[in-house]
Amino acid sequence: KQEVTQIPAALSVPEGENLVLNCSFTDSAIYNLQWFRQDPGKGLTSLLLIQSSQREQTSGRLNASLDKSSGRSTLYIAASQPGDSATYLCAVFKAAGNKLTFGGGTRVLVKP
Amino acid sequence: SAVISQKPSRDICQRGTSLTIQCQVDSQVTMMFWYRQQPGQSLTLIATANQGSEATYESGFVIDKFPISRPNLTFSTLTVSNMSPEDSSIYLCSGNRGGTGELFFGEGSRLTVL
């Protein structure tokens, strides 16, 4: 059974610092990995999708890496802003059975 | 990105009643899923909504409690039946875009059961 873990569970940084969010998964046979952002009481917004054959994806200030063999992904957010405050979730999609497994999320607070 | 709209966005219900949540997706979506997010928790998959046939439920979720319909490719409903306070959660509809497999979510339906 796939298990996805996100560390740390919560993170507080001053504005301008770079954010590093970690995601680990136990079964390396994944189809893709996706990072989401969730604001309180809201749905999820897709940030980055990394296919299993890719090593990283970039979008603006966001960069996500994937190391399948070690079961890890890292989301980097450069020059953080107060508007980046949210919960960040990673999820892995296993082609067989079409199951998406979520991590517990990292709650980020960027202080002005 | 795919467009997914969900309603109601929130509701307060009495114990023992049922509530139906509707989800409309655009034509890019191939698969549809329903998730539950209990307070302070991550997301748990309830079921995969199959067009024109019974949904595929995950362990711990049953059709009698969470009947799901998907009469066509772009519309699905989830009913939370005979509600109790333990059903208070955010229920999220999602769609998987064919090809990349990228998953998109609606805004969620926040349900409070008194």
Which tens digit of pLDDT belongs to each residue from A36-85? 999 988 889 999 999 989 999 999 999 999 999 999 999 999 999 999 99
Round the average pLDDT of chain A to a whole number and report it. 93
Q: What is the pLDDT of residue B63?
A: 96
Between A14 and A1, the higher pLDDT residue: A14
Q: What percent of chain B has pLDDT over 90?
A: 75
Mean pLDDT (whole number) for A10-39 = 94
DSSP category for residue B100: T
Q: Do A93 and B101 touch (CB under 8 A)?
A: yes
Q: Does residue A112 surpass a pLDDT of 90?
A: yes
Is B28's pLDDT higher than 70? yes
Q: What are phi and psi of A9, to 5 degrees?
A: -75, -25
Comparing alpha-carbon positions, the chain A residue that sits nearest to B3 is A45
**Higher-pLDDT residue of A110, B99:** A110
- What is the CB neighbour count within 10 angstroms for residue A1? 6
**What pLDDT is attached to residue B87?**
97
Cis peptide preceding B8, ω within 30 of 0 = yes
- Which chain B positions have a beta carbon within 8 Å of A45's beta carbon? 105
**A-B Cβ pairs (cutoff 8 Å, strict):** 52
Whether B42 and A102 lie within 8 Å, measured CB to CB: yes
Q: Is A21 exposed, middle or buried (0-12, 13-18, 19+ CB in 10 A)?
A: buried
Distance CA A77, CA A24 (A): 18
Mean per-residue pLDDT for B42-57?
Answer: 92
CB-CB neighbours of A102 under 10 Å: 22
Q: Which of A89, A91, A8 minimizes the C-alpha distance to B102?
A: A91
Indicate whether A97 pLDDT > 60: no
Q: B54 or B28: which carries more pLDDT confidence?
A: B54
- Band of pLDDT at residue A90, cut at 50, 70 and 90: very high
